[in-house]
C-alpha cells in the first residue's frame, strides 16, 4: 500500500507560541534571555506537530522542520557555515549567536533577507567567501530526531540539500564561484547523514527546490556527483522538489542514487505521469558506478495536497488521478503535501468567526494532514470501503459541489462586467503629455512638487482605537471622531511642512491589503490564519474565495473629509489589484489573472467614486508587482501582460486631468522597466535610498530609468524611511541634484521612499521639513538658472 507523509509543518504554533517565546527571549537580552523557557516552547510545538501527524494516521513523522528563525539559517548552523564575519566557532553556536546572525548585533548588520522562491516567506541569504570552511555545527537536529524516535519509529528528518544551500547564497570577499565550496560542504552532509543513520533513521527527506528554477548547467551537473558521494553514508534519501515543474530533469532524477523523489503535482500536474513512467521500471546506475549502491526501484512521492493554499482538496478527483499509478508503484508511491505546510495557517478549528459556508471549503495544515492520510487509504480497496473513509469522501464531495455553484462565489454582475471588458477600458483617453498638461492646468504645482507615500505614524493610540472599535469597546462615533482627529492632525502638519500634494494619513488601516479585503465581497479575513513571513513575523493573508464585488466605496469618506480641510490637493490612496492578489490566498477554481481583473474592476469603481467626490489625485500602490514574477523566465511575459492590464483597468477610467500615481517599494526593476512604463501611471514613486549605499543605489536606479527614458513623472525616494535617522536638508539636496542629472525637472517629484507608518512624529517632522526645504532650495536654483538663461 502507498504511504502518507508531508514535507513539513508550520512551526509557529497554533497560537503563534514561537513568536511570543522568541520575542520574549530577545527582549530579555540576547545573552541573558530565558533559554529554558524558549527551549520548552520549542519542545511543545514540536510535540504538538508530531502528535498531529500521528493522530492523522500518517506513515512518516516528519521532523527537522522546526526552526527558531529560518530553515536556511538552521541548515547553515548545522554544517558550521554561518557567515565568518560573526566570528562564531562552528560547534558551539548558541541560540543567542544564531539570532545575532539573523538580526544583527552592535556593529554587525544582520544577514540579508530575501524571498523564498515565489512564496511570501523570506529566508536569510548565506554568505560564502574564500574563507568559508564549514565544520561540525549545532546538534539541534539530532536532538529533535532523538526526541521523536523516543516516541516510536518511522521518523523522517528533513534537511535542505547541499546544492540548494549553496545556490541560494551569495558570494562575498572575492569568491567568484560558490559551487567550488561543494566538496567541503558535502563532507559535512556526509557527517550529518551518517549520524542520522547511526541514530536509527531509515529515510531522510532532502530538499532541492532549486530544481524548479531556471538552473544553470553547472549547477544541474553538480547533482550527480554530489548525490553519488552522499548515498554511501546516508539512510535512504527522498529528494524533494517543489514549487514547479521539474520534468526536464526527469532523466537526471531517475538516474540519481537516491531512494526516491518528490514532485509537486499541484503546481505541475503533468509531472505525475512523467515520473510514474520514469520510475515504474526501476533505474539503472550510470556507467562507472556499482550496481550494489543503486536503489533499483525508487519511491515516487507525489504532492497532491496544496501546501501553498487553504482549499480543501477535491479528494475524489485526486484519487482518480492517482489510482492508475498506485497499481503500478504499489508501496513505492508516497502521498504527500505539495510542499511544506509552513505556507498554510495552522488549524481551521480556531476560525470560529469565519462564515460557515466559506469555512466548509477550507483546510489549514492540520486538516491537510488528514487529507493526505485519507487519500492514501482511499487507494486501498479494503480501506476505501470503510465507513469513515466513505463518510469523509461524501462530505468532501458535498463541499466541492457547493463551491462550484454557491452564489457566494459566483456573482453574475461581476461576470457580466468582466465579459463586457474592452481594450479601451485599459487605456487612458489621452497620452501622457496631453494628460500632464491638463493636470498642470488645475494642480498648478511648482517645479519639483513634494508629496508623501500615504501613511503617517501609526501611534499606539491609533492602533488602540482601531482594536477597541473592533472588540466593540469603542463606539462607532468615538472611533470616527478619533480617526478624523488624526486626519486633521495630518493635514495641519503637512500644511506646516509646506508639502504640495497631501494625504489623509491612513490611520484607519491596519494593513494595506486587509483594509480592502474586509470591505470587498469575495474576500474573507481570518482570526488566526497566521503564516510565517520571516523570523518571528507572521502575516494573516485574506482568502479570496469568490467573485470580487465592491458593495460601497471604501475610502471616499476619509479622503473627501481630508480634502475638505485644505486648499491643497489631497491624494486618495488605494492598494492595487496585483498586490491584493499577491498577498492573499487566491482562488484555485479560476486563473489568477481572472481574479486580478475582478479586483481591478472593483477598484476602478472606487477610483471613479474618489474622482467624483473631488479627489482627483489618486495613488494605486503596487509594491508586490515585481515579486509576482513567476519562477521561470519563460513565464514572465504572460504574467506581466495580465498584471499590467489589471493595473490599467483599475486606473484608466478617469478624466485626463485626474492624476494617477503608483508606488513600488524597490528600485531593482531594471528587467521589467518596459512593463513599469506600460502601467502608464502619471507619476511613480520608488524606493532608492535603502542601506548605507544610498547614493549608489539611487544612481543605479536613475541610470536604468535614464537608459530606458522612463516617460512619465517619477519620484525616486530621497528619505529612507526604514531608518530612524532624520536626513539633513543637505543630504536630500544632494540626492535631488543626483536625480536631476538624469530626470528632467518637469517630471521629477520629491518624496520619501515609502509610507511613514513605522516612524514617529518627531522623526517625520524633522525629515519632511528638511525635505521640503531641500526641494525649495533646488527649485530656487533651477528657477534662478532659467532666469539667467533668459
Ligand atoms: N500607501 C502605503 C503607505 O504609505 C504604501 C505602503 C507600501 O508601499 N508598502 O503605507
Ligand atoms: Zn513602499
Per-position DSSP letters for 9-62, written without gaps between them: ---S-TT-HHHHHHHHHHHT-TTTS-HHHHHHHHHHHHHHHHHHHHHHT-SSEE
pTM: 0.95
Q: Are 646 and 600 in contact (CB under 8 A)?
A: yes
**229: nearest Cα among 260, 287, 188, 195:** 188
The whole-angstrom separation of Cα 508 and Cα 483 is 6
* Residue 200 DSSP symbol: T
Q: What is the pLDDT, as a whole number, of residue 788?
A: 87
How far does CA 168 lie from the centroid of its chain? 16
Q: What is the pLDDT, as a whole number, of residue 700?
A: 58
Q: Are 18 and 12 in contact (CB under 8 A)?
A: yes
Query: Is residue 768 a part of any domain in this protein?
Result: yes
Q: Domain holding 639: CATH number? A: 3.20.20.210
Cα 710 to ligand 2 centre (Å)? 19
Q: What is the pLDDT, as a whole number, of residue 695?
A: 42
Cα 430 to ligand 2 centre (Å)? 28
The whole-angstrom separation of Cα 354 and Cα 190 is 48
Q: Which ligand is nearest to the CA of 619?
A: 1
Dihedral, 705, 706, 708, 709 alpha carbons, nearest 10: 100
Query: Is residue 40 a part of any domain in this protein?
Result: no
Mean pLDDT per block of 10 residues along the chain (790 residues) reads 96 97 91 88 98 98 98 97 88 90 92 96 97 94 98 96 98 96 98 98 98 98 97 95 97 93 97 87 50 65 98 98 91 96 97 95 98 98 97 98 96 97 97 97 98 98 96 97 98 98 97 97 97 97 98 98 98 98 98 98 98 98 95 97 98 98 85 91 85 45 59 92 93 91 92 96 98 98 88
Query: Is residue 653 a part of any domain in this protein?
Result: yes
Cα 643 to ligand 1 centre (Å)? 19
Q: Which ligand is nearest to the CA of 720?
A: 2
Whether 650 has a binding-site annotation, put simply, is: no
Cα 775 to ligand 1 centre (Å)? 22
The whole-angstrom separation of Cα 658 and Cα 614 is 10
Ligand 1 atom, smallest distance to 452 CA: 4
The whole-angstrom separation of Cα 502 and Cα 572 is 9
Whether 122 has a binding-site annotation, put simply, is: no
Strand 127-128 to strand 122-124: parallel, antiparallel, or no bridges (unpaired)? Answer: unpaired
Q: Which ligand is nearest to the CA of 756?
A: 1
The whole-angstrom separation of Cα 494 and Cα 693 is 29
Cα 623 to ligand 1 centre (Å)? 8
Cα 665 to ligand 2 centre (Å)? 4
Whether 170 has a binding-site annotation, put simply, is: no
Residue nearest ligand 1's atom 1 by CA: 454
Whether 627 has a binding-site annotation, put simply, is: yes
Query: Is residue 363 a part of any domain in this protein?
Result: no
Ligand 1 atom, smallest distance to 757 CA: 10
Cα 665 to ligand 1 centre (Å)? 8
Q: How many CB atoms lie within 10 A of CB 321?
A: 17
The whole-angstrom separation of Cα 295 and Cα 280 is 13
Mutate to test the pocket of ligand 1, among 452, 454, 555, 687 (most ligand atoms within 8 A of CB): 454
Q: How many CB atoms lie within 10 A of CB 106?
A: 5
Whether 356 has a binding-site annotation, put simply, is: no
Whether 665 has a binding-site annotation, put simply, is: yes
* Cα separations in angstroms, 638 against 264, 453, 592, 594: 22, 29, 12, 13
Ligand 1 atom, smallest distance to 664 CA: 8
* Cα separations in angstroms, 561 against 453, 456, 497, 513: 19, 16, 20, 22
Q: What is the pLDDT, as a whole number, of residue 30?
A: 74
> The domain containing residue 496 runs over which residues?
449-789
Angle between the N-to-C axes of helices 35-56 and 140-149, in degrees from 0 to 180, rounded to the nearest 10 = 50
Q: How many domains in the chain? A: 1
All cell numbers assigned to 566: 485644505
Cα 512 to ligand 1 centre (Å)? 7
Ligand 1 atom, smallest distance to 509 CA: 10
Whether 634 has a binding-site annotation, put simply, is: no
Whether 687 has a binding-site annotation, put simply, is: yes
Task: Please provide the distance, in angstroms rounded to a whole number, between the alpha carbons at the two ends of the chain.
Answer: 88
The whole-angstrom separation of Cα 65 and Cα 10 is 8
The whole-angstrom separation of Cα 241 and Cα 274 is 14
The whole-angstrom separation of Cα 619 and Cα 125 is 33
Q: What is the pLDDT, as a whole number, of residue 279?
A: 81
Cα 24 to ligand 1 centre (Å)? 29
Whether 737 has a binding-site annotation, put simply, is: no
Cα 8 to ligand 1 centre (Å)? 33
Mutate to test the pocket of ligand 1, among 663, 665, 720 (most ligand atoms within 8 A of CB): 663
Residue nearest ligand 1's atom 4 by CA: 755
**Residue length of the chain:** 790
Strand 299-305 to strand 155-160: parallel, antiparallel, or no bridges (unpaired)? Answer: unpaired
Q: Which ligand is nearest to the CA of 456?
A: 1
Query: Is residue 766 a part of any domain in this protein?
Result: yes
Kindly name the residue from 410, 425, 670, 722 that is annotated as catalytic. 722
Q: Are 622 and 573 in contact (CB under 8 A)?
A: no
Query: Is residue 162 a part of any domain in this protein?
Result: no
Q: What is the pLDDT, as a whole number, of residue 689?
A: 58
Q: How many CB atoms lie within 10 A of CB 472?
A: 8
Ligand 1 atom, smallest distance to 619 CA: 1
**101: nearest Cα among 89, 110, 93, 92:** 110
Residue nearest ligand 1's atom 10 by CA: 755
Ligand 1 atom, smallest distance to 455 CA: 4
Helix (H) or strand (E) holding 373: helix 365-378
Strand partners for 61: 155
Residue nearest ligand 1's atom 3 by CA: 755
Ligand 1 atom, smallest distance to 663 CA: 8
Q: Which residues line ligand 1 (CB under 6 A)?
A: 453-455, 506, 512, 573, 621, 623, 663, 665, 754-755, 757
Angle between the N-to-C axes of helices 592-612 and 412-419, in degrees from 0 to 180, rounded to the nearest 10 = 90
How far does CA 80 lie from the centroid of its chain? 28
Ligand 1 atom, smallest distance to 755 CA: 4
Query: Is residue 741 a part of any domain in this protein?
Result: yes
Whether 552 has a binding-site annotation, put simply, is: no
Q: Are 717 and 688 in contact (CB under 8 A)?
A: yes
All cell numbers assigned to 689: 535610498
Q: Which ligand is nearest to the CA of 667?
A: 2
Residue nearest ligand 1's atom 6 by CA: 755
**598: nearest Cα among 424, 420, 429:** 420
Query: Is residue 402 a part of any domain in this protein?
Result: no
Ion ligand 2: protein residues whose beta carbon lies under 5 Å = 665, 754
Annotation marks residue 343 as catalytic: no
SS3 content of the chain, % helix, strand, coil (to 5): 50, 15, 40
Q: Which ligand is nearest to the CA of 764?
A: 1
Helix (H) or strand (E) holding 321: helix 315-329
- Phi-psi label, residue 240: left if phi above 0, alpha if psi -120 to 50, beta otherwise: beta
Amino acid at each position: 500500500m502507498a504511504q502518507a507523509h508531508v514535507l513539513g509543518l508550520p512551526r509557529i504554533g497554533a497560537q503563534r507560541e514561537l513568536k511570543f517565546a522568541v520575542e520574549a527571549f530577545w527582549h530579555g537580552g540576547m545573552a541573558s534571555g530565558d533559554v529554558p523557557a524558549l527551549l520548552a516552547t520549542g519542545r511543545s510545538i514540536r510535540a504538538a506537530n508530531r502528535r498531529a501527524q500521528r493522530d492523522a494516521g500518517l506513515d512518516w513523522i516528519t521532523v527537522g522542520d522546526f526552526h527558531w528563525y529560518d530553515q536556511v539559517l538552521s541548515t547553515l548552523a548545522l554544517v558550521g557555515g554561518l557567515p565568518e564575519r560573526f566570528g562564531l566557532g562552528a560547534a558551539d553556536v548558541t541560540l543567542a549567536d544564531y539570532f545575532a546572525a539573523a538580526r544583527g548585533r552592535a556593529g554587525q548588520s544582520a544577514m540579508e533577507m530575501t524571498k523564498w522562491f515565489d512564496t511570501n516567506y523570506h529566508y536569510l541569504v548565506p554568505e560564502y567567501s574564500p574563507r568559508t570552511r564549514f565544520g561540525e555545527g549545532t546538534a539541534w537536529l539530532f536532538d529533535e530526531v532523538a526526541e521523536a524516535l523516543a516516541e516510536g519509529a518511522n521518523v523522517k528528518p528533513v534537511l535542505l540539500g547541499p546544492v540548494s544551500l549553496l545556490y541560494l547564497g551569495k558570494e562575498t570577499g572575492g569568491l567568484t564561484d560558490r559551487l567550488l565550496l561543494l566538496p567541503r560542504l558535502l563532507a559535512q552532509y556526509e557527517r550529518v547523514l551518517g549520524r542520522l543513520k547511526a541514530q536509527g533513521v531509515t529515510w531522510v527527506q532532502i530538499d532541492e527546490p532549486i530544481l524548479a528554477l531556471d538552473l544553470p548547467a553547472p549547477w544541474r551537473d553538480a547533482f550527480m556527483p554530489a548525490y553519488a558521494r552522499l548515498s554511501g553514508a546516508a539512510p535512504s534519501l527522498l529528494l524533494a522538489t517543489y514549487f514547479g515543474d521539474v520534468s526536464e530533469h526527469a532523466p537526471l532524477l531517475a538516474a540519481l542514487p537516491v531512494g526516491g523523489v518528490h514532485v509537486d503535482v499541484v503546481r505541475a500536474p503533468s509531472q505525475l505521469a512523467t515520473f510514474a513512467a520514469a520510475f515504474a521500471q526501476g533505474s539503472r546506475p550510470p556507467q562507472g558506478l556499482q550496481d550494489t549502491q543503486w536503489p533499483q526501484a525508487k519511491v515516487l512521492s507525489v504532492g497532491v495536497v496544496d501546501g501553498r493554499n487553504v482549499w480543501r482538496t477535491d479528494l475524489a478527483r485526486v484519487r482518480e488521478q492517482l489510482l492508475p499509478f498506485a497499481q503500478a508503484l504499489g508501496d513505492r508511491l508516497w502521498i504527500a503535501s505539495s510542499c511544506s505546510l509552513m505556507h498554510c495557517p495552522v488549524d481551521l478549528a480556531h476560525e470560529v468567526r469565519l462564515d460557515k459556508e466559506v469555512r466548509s471549503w477550507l483546510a489549514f495544515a492540520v486538516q491537510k494532514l488528514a487529507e493526505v492520510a485519507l487519500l492514501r487509504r482511499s487507494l486501498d480497496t479494503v480501506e476505501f470501503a470503510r465507513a469513515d473513509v466513505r463518510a469523509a469522501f461524501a462530505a468532501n464531495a458535498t463541499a466541492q459541489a457547493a463551491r462550484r455553484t454557491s452564489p457566494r462565489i459566483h456573482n453574475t454582475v461581476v461576470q457580466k462586467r468582466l465579459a463586457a471588458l474592452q481594450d479601451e477600458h485599459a487605456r487612458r483617453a489621452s497620452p501622457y503629455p496631453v494628460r500632464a498638461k491638463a493636470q498642470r492646468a488645475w494642480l498648478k504645482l511648482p517645479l519639483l512638487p513634494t508629496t508623501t507615500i500615504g501613511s503617517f505614524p501609526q501611534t499606539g493610540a491609533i492602533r488602540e482605537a482601531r482594536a477597541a472599535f473592533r472588540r466593540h469597546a469603542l463606539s462607532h462615533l468615538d472611533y470616527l471622531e478619533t480617526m478624523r482627529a488624526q486626519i486633521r492632525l495630518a493635514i495641519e502638519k503637512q500644511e506646516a511642512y509646506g508639502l504640495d500634494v497631501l494625504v489623509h494619513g491612513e490611520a484607519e488601516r491596519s494593513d494595506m491589503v486587509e483594509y480592502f479585503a474586509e470591505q470587498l465581497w469575495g474576500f474573507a479575513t481570518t482570526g488566526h490564519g497566521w503564516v510565517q513571513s520571516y523570523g518571528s513575523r507572521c502575516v494573516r493573508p485574506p482568502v479570496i474565495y469568490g467573485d470580487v464585488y465592491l458593495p460601497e466605496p471604501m475610502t471616499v469618506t476619509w479622503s473627501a473629509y481630508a480634502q475638505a480641510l485644505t486648499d491643497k490637493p489631497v491624494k486618495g490612496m488605494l492598494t492595487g489589484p496585483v498586490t491584493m492578489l499577491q498577498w492573499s490566498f487566491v482562488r484555485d477554481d479560476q486563473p489568477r489573472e481572472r481574479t486580478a481583473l475582478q479586483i481591478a474592476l472593483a477598484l476602478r469603481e472606487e477610483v471613479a467614486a474618489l474622482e467624483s467626490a473631488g479627489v482627483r489625485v489618486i495613488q494605486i500602490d503596487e509594491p508586490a508587482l515585481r515579486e509576482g514574477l513567476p519562477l521561470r523566465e519563460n513565464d514572465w511575459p504572460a504574467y506581466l501582460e495580465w498584471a499590467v492590464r489589471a493595473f490599467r483597468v483599475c486606473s484608466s477610467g478617469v478624466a485626463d486631468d485626474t492624476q494617477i500615481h503608483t508606488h513600488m517599494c524597490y528600485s531593482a526593476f531594471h528587467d521589467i522597466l518596459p512593463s513599469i512604463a506600460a502601467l502608464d501611471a502619471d507619476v511613480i514613486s520608488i524606493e532608492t535610498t535603502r542601506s548605507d549605499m544610498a547614493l549608489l543605489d539611487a544612481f543605479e536606479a536613475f541610470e536604468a530609468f535614464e537608459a530606458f527614458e522612463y516617460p512619465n513623472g517619477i519620484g525616486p525616494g530621497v528619505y529612507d524611511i526604514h531608518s530612524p535617522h532624520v536626513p539633513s536638508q543637505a543630504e536630500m539636496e544632494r540626492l535631488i541634484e543626483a536625480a536631476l542629472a538624469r530626470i528632467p525637472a518637469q517630471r521629477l517629484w520629491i518624496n520619501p521612499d515609502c509610507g511613514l507608518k513605522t516612524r514617529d512624529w518627531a522623526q517625520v517632522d524633522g525629515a519632511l521639513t528638511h525635505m521640503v526645504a531641500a526641494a525649495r532650495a533646488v527649485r530656487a536654483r533651477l528657477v534662478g538658472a532659467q532666469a539667467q538663461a533668459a
